[in-house]
Structure 1
Amino acid sequence: MDDLFLFLFLISFAALIIGLIKPEFALKWLPENKRNRKFAGMYFGVAAALFFVLVGVTVSPENESAVKGDQLEQEEKEKEEQEQQEEEQQEKEEQERREREQEQKEKEEKEKQEQQEKEEQEQKEKEEEEKKAKERAEKEKQEQEEKAAQEQKEKEKQEQVEQEKKEQQKKEKQEKPKKKAAKKESAETMSQQQAVQMARNYINYTAFSQSGLIEQLEYEGFNKKDATYAAGKIDVNWKEQAVEMANNYLDYDAFSKKGLIEQLMYEGFSNDHAAYAAGNVTVDWKAQAVKMAENYLNYDAFSRSGLIEQLKYEGFSGEVATYAANEVGL
């Protein structure tokens, strides 16, 4: 009998353990709302306690010792399992702590690296800005030197023209008595010859349109008929004259393509000749826009939008005007 009660006690105790761990499994025969540890403890705990008492009452002294030994062994086993669970829990907590420390360390290293990269980027931007400023200063210096050299060249060229003019006037003065002695018909022919000679002299030293050359000869004292005769008599390619004058203008000032065409037409060239010249000069129109923007900023103050509008008014496209504004730092 005591063996039966002992067996029933062990079964009840095992069911109690299972019911505390998985009550839904141990209490499948109960309604779902009662499948919990409370009812598992109630049913299997009471059963285990009852059978334990019965075992104590019916067991012989020898069996009682054996039962106590089994009970002690079971308690030791449970204690070992409890200690093992505690050790596992401690190991888990320690692992989580190490992971948190590792994450914190990685976060700090990442922030440090980002800060270092930010400082390097700022240093790089500062160096690039200093480099650009130095390049702009060198460029401005070079342009000023080129402008001064061009002005000196123009001055020397003008002085040479003036000298030639004086020599021509001196020559004409010396030949004047001979002209007075000639017949009227011969004098008219000589006037045309002189107009032709002066037209060649002007063409040799600078560029003219046909109408511009006629006006210059008239300014020099020739009548309209002789000046027109001379301009038509000389051998000259008016398209190439337009190209030469375009290059002269670009040597000392900045122009858009449209502005250059308008300037050449103002000088007397036809629209076709002016357009041909603007299309056959070697020039970077973007660089011309930048140069004109710098010229404006040297003599007046502009906002970015105001400078772009001014450059568009001068004939540059919106894209080229915006490029120039960017290049000058607005």
Structure 2
Amino acid sequence: MNADNVTTAKAWYARWWVWALAVLLAIGIGSALSGTGTADDGADTAVDYQVDEEGNRAEKKEDAVPAATPEPTAEPSAEETESVQAAEPTVEATTPAPAPAAPAPTPEPALSVSQDSAIRSAESYLSFTNFSRSGLISQLEYEGYSNADAQFAVDSLNVDWLEQAAGSAESYLSFTAFSRSGLIGQLEYEGFSTEQATHGVDTVSVDWYEQAALSAQSYLDFMGFSRQGLIDQLVYEGFSLDQATHGVNQVGL
């Protein structure tokens, strides 16, 4: 075959009708896309789109109401907690304390022979006469007991010294006359306190006018006195002037 008469075949994309067909298809596709875009624009007024992480579009409906999420309960602050705890009364469980054990009785110390003897001597003296505390201690010391044993013996006894003072006052008045102040002074001399002596004298029933007359007679029994001298002597002994004058009158001066 002659080479001049052979027609070389053209590639498909070099033919004119291919390009014409491509143009028509492009126009048709563009028109279709344009119409679709208009419809989509109208739809976009009601529907929104969101693009996910992979680039796909998904409808996002504006009218959709998300499910209500319960609000978390607020935890009370430390100040509020302390305030509530302070307002609430605190009830503490109390356990009764055990009762203290009773102390064991202290055994009484054994008395020495001299202490026991001094106690018996003190009791003997108080059984027949009256003493002050210091007078009884002195009496025991006079009997030969030590001061420690004498004090121990007297203090171990249950003695009412006020009663002893009253008994001693009555004893003195039974054999001699006294003024009130003279008798108080005599009891103090015997070792009673002023309170004890005063109580003892005021306890006994005494007529001090009668005591003044007895005292005036006693003075006249062993020596002579003038009327005024005897009155002065009685006043010196503690009688009042009225009591002393009464006593002198009773003896005839």
TM-score (norm 2): 0.56
1:158-307 aligned within 5 A: 189-307=112-230
Deviation at 1:235, TM superposition (A): 1.3
Q: Relative contact order, CA 8 A, sep 6+: which one is greater? A: 2
Q: Unpaired runs of 5+ in structure 2?
A: 1-108
Where does residue 326 of structure 1 map in the other structure? Answer: 249
- Partner deviation per Cα, 1:173-217 (whole Å, 9 max, x = no partner): xxxxxxxxxxxx97x622111111110110001000000000000
Task: Select the structure of larger CA radius of gyration.
Answer: 2
Q: Which amino acid counterpart does residue 153 of structure 2 have in structure 1? A: A
Deviation at 1:240, TM superposition (A): 0.6
Distance 2:129 2:191 in 1: 14
Deviation at 1:221, TM superposition (A): 0.9
Where does residue 47 of structure 2 map in the other structure? Answer: none
Deviation at 1:282, TM superposition (A): 1.3
Distance 1:286 1:231 in 2: 38
Distance 2:236 2:215 in 1: 12
Secondary structure of the 1:279 match is helix
1:1-330 aligned within 5 A: 189-330=112-253
Q: Which amino acid counterpart does residue 215 of structure 1 have in structure 2? A: S
Q: Which amino acid counterpart does residue 299 of structure 1 have in structure 2? A: F
Distance 1:207 1:313 in 2: 27
Deviation at 1:255, TM superposition (A): 0.3
Q: How many pairs were matched up?
A: 145
Secondary structure of the 1:206 match is coil
Distance 1:190 1:261 in 2: 38
Distance 1:233 1:284 in 2: 37
Distance 1:192 1:230 in 2: 6
Ranges of 4+ aligned residues in structure 1 off by more than 4 Å: none
Deviation at 1:313, TM superposition (A): 0.4
Larger helix percent: 1
Q: Which amino acid counterpart does residue 300 of structure 1 have in structure 2? A: M
Q: Unpaired runs of 5+ in structure 1?
A: 1-184
Distance 2:194 2:131 in 1: 15
